[in-house]
Amino acid sequence: METKDLLKKVRKIEIKTRRLTNNIFGGEYHSAFKGRGMTFSEVRNYQFGDDVRTIDWNVTARYNEPFVKVFEEERELTLMLLVDVSGSEFFGTDKVLKKNIVTEISATLAFSALQNNDKVGLILFSDEVELYIPPSKGKTHVLRIIRELIEFKPKSKKTDISEALQFLIGVIKKKSIAFILSDFISENYEKTLKICAKKHDLTGIRIFDKMEESIPNMGIISMFDQETEEVKMIDTSSHSLRKKYELFNKVNSKRFNQVFSKHGAGTLNCRTDESYVKKLLSYFKTRG
């Protein structure tokens, strides 16, 4: 992609997602994800209705009138985005790729963190960690993250959720807010997720396409597997084949929801033709 075209795409996503953040998500994000506690800010004169437990008795005795301690939230937080860049993310119908929705959601979360002066970091993964951008603050940093989400070319097209979670555990020592965005067509990640969810405030966002829920009867068609790069002829008129396909999706969806919920992690399920704005807002309000 040429630099000019890339900058246009980055700018387009920035305008859309910053507008969402400024008008909708900024306050909800702040309410949903609390700081590490309260820290002392200043003392001021006692006012009617103040909690007597906050009276600073030393200052009160010195000036012979009541003063109270004022505390504020210790806001310093880190948002980590774990983004699946495997081949299956390039699947989509109705001209909407899963990758595009993942990019927009990630940008919205990043700008929400920016608005609240939190750090943002990025982990792009396939069946290995493809790219790691350490957490930092600032608009320039967030725009770099968006550029990578748009143009990064992974070495592998396969998926390993466990590998990404293990990397997060190892590289981020303090508790963070972690969102992992994927279609979660991956197995054997529960053990690592259990460890990760104990250390971090973890949320899984499953992005999927309506065609992954069921295949319509279209006769014999060719299908390209983005991860294995194999082309197969599929007879979609076969009722048993369509039922098997639907069952695979249901099992994958059920596993995702059960595993995350079992270990205290949050879940969102977002179809590419649905509004991720409503899903995110509802999730933030539920947490707040």
State the pLDDT at residue 256. 94
- Specify the 3-state DSSP secondary structure of 51: coil
Whether 116 has a pLDDT exceeding 70, the answer reads yes
Cα 281 to Cα 183: distance, rounded to the nearest angstrom: 20
State the pLDDT at residue 18. 76
State the pLDDT at residue 21. 78
- Specify the 3-state DSSP secondary structure of 255: helix
Which of the pair, 179 or 12, is modelled with greater confidence? 179
State the pLDDT at residue 243. 77
Strand ranges for the chain from DSSP E: 37-45, 67-74, 78-84, 119-125, 129-136, 177-182, 201-208, 220-224, 231-235, 266-271
Cα 188 to Cα 78: distance, rounded to the nearest angstrom: 27
**What average pLDDT does range 38-60 have in this prediction?**
82
State the pLDDT at residue 149. 93
State the pLDDT at residue 127. 93
For 176-242, the DSSP string reads -EEEEEE-----S-HHHHHHHHHHSEEEEEEEE-GGGT-----SEEEEE-TTT--EEEEETT-HHHH
273: DSSP letter: T
Confidence band of 92 (pLDDT split at 50, 70, 90): low
Whether 240 has a pLDDT exceeding 90, the answer reads no
**What average pLDDT does range 78-97 have in this prediction?**
78
State the pLDDT at residue 6. 67
**What average pLDDT does range 111-116 have in this prediction?**
88
Confidence band of 171 (pLDDT split at 50, 70, 90): very high
89: DSSP letter: G
Whether 241 has a pLDDT exceeding 80, the answer reads no
State the pLDDT at residue 54. 87
State the pLDDT at residue 262. 96
**What average pLDDT does range 241-249 have in this prediction?**
77
Which of the pair, 95 or 30, is modelled with greater confidence? 30
Domain limits of the chain? 3-31+76-287, 37-74
State the pLDDT at residue 87. 72
Residue 115 exposed, middle or buried by CB count within 10 Å (0-12, 13-18, 19+) = middle
Whether 68 has a pLDDT exceeding 60, the answer reads yes
pTM for the structure as a whole = 0.77
Confidence band of 251 (pLDDT split at 50, 70, 90): confident
State the pLDDT at residue 74. 58
Residue 255's alpha-carbon distances to 100, 182, 240, 246, in angstroms, are 24, 14, 22, 14
Whether 269 has a pLDDT exceeding 70, the answer reads yes
- Least confident range of 76-90, 156-170, 237-251, 274-288: 237-251
pLDDT per residue over 1-47, tens digit each? Answer: 566 676 777 777 888 777 777 766 767 787 777 665 565 667 889 88
CATH topology of domain 3-31+76-287: Rossmann fold (3.40.50)
